[in-house]
Amino acid sequence: MILRINPFRGIFTPAVYREMLAEAEHYKRYRLSIILLYLASILIYMVGSSLGIGSESISKELPTLTDSAFEARKQLFLIGKLLQALIIPTIFLYLSSLYYVAFANGQFRKMMIMQMNVLGIFLIEKILLIPLFLGLNIGSASNVFSFGVIAQYITSNVIAIDFLSELTIFRVAMFFLSFFYLTKLIEGRKQTLFVLNVILYVIYWIFAGFISYMKIEFFF
């Protein structure tokens, strides 16, 4: 059976797509989908970053620099964002698939196709956040999809806020969607798969939370 890869169907009709993916032996548009996802990632990151999202830490240099010197730094920041736009899909597609192959005996291609859906959700969130961040004048700490806003009411602990602000309903959806796929694609106990998946997402979360908390300029 041949599966025409379509991450949108994978996200919005997961039950059907999951069956098709489980039975498929050949895949159409496999490489194209990967390339398109990378391109989408680059596009979304570049649009968001050039509008200023995530540039809080270099803003403090604006009053002391000329506009052109500031813009030079902004361009370097954009190069960094471009690298991020390449690394994020790599982590979600390749590294995560390798994790499932290594620890849950998954088939690499099927894992890749499953992870395309997960990456799709991640990118949809990124797209939605661009107008929300700019329109509501908020940053990632007050992301309305996350627990960050509530966290700021509960605590003033910066680490807690940073970690909770990285916990968004989209990330939760990513977790459950991948678990939903894993139960069909990998034979094994549901509990084991759940724990495996929890471990992976906790690693994601710690990574994201740590990056959110970390201020690069401390190292310079």
Partner 1 sequence: MKKWSKSIIAVLAIVFVLCNVYLLLKENSKAERTINVRDWTRVEKDNVKKLFYTKGVTEPESETHVYFDKRKGSLDKILVKEGETVTAGTPLFVYDAQKLEDKKAVLEDRKERLQSEMSSVENEITELQQIKQQAPVDTAKTETENKKVKVDVNIDTSPIIDSNVQQKIAAAQTEKSKLEATLTENDAKLSRIDEQLQDLNVVSPVDGQVTNINPELQDPMITIASASSAVKGNLPATRVHEVQEGQAVKLYSPLLDQYYTGEVSQVIAIPDYKTAKKEPMYSFLVKLGNESDNSAIEDTPTDEPTRITSEAEENTTETSGNTDAAKNPDKQSKVNLNNEASTVTEKEKPLLLGTKMDMQVTLAEALQVPVIASKSIEKENKKYYVYQMTKNGMVRKQPIQIGVSYKKKNQVIEGILTKDTIVTNEQNVKVSDPSPFITPSKSENLNKKDIKALPSIQKAKYILIGLFE
* Shortest spacing between CB 37 and partner 1, in angstroms: 19
Cα 154 vs. chain centroid, distance in angstroms?
Answer: 26
Q: At its nearest, how many Å lie between partner 1 and the CB of residue 79?
A: 5
H or E element in which residue 26 lies: strand 26-28
Q: Binding to partner 1 by residue 124, rule CB under 8 A? A: no
Establish if 130 lies at the interface with partner 1 (CB under 8 A): no
Classified as helix, coil or strand, 109 is helix
Residue 137's SS3 state is coil
Euclidean distance between CA atoms 31 and 21, whole angstroms? 16
Letters for 25-64 (x = contact with partner 1 by CB under 8 A, - = none) are: ------------------------xxxxxxxxxxxxxxxx
Instruction: Report in angstroms how near the CB of residue 154 gets to partner 1 at its nearest.
Output: 9
Classify burial at 35, counting beta carbons within 10 Å of its beta carbon; exposed 0-12, middle 13-18, buried 19 or more: exposed
**Contact 186/111 with Cβ under 8 angstroms?**
no
Considering only 1, 35, 79, 159, the residue that binds partner 1 (CB under 8 A) is 79
Q: Give residue 139's Cα distance to chain centre.
A: 16
Among positions 164-183, residues that touch partner 1 (CB under 8 A) are 169
Q: Which stretch binds partner 1 (CB under 8 A): 33-41, 102-110, 141-149, 181-189?
A: 141-149
218 near partner 1 (CB under 8 A): no
Instruction: Determine how many CB atoms are found less than 10 A away from the CB of residue 168.
Output: 21
Any contact of residue 19 with partner 1 (CB under 8 A)?
no
Residues of this chain that interact with partner 1 (CB under 8 A) are 49-64, 67-84, 87, 133-134, 136-139, 141-142, 144-146, 148-150, 152-153, 169, 211-212, 214-217, 219-220
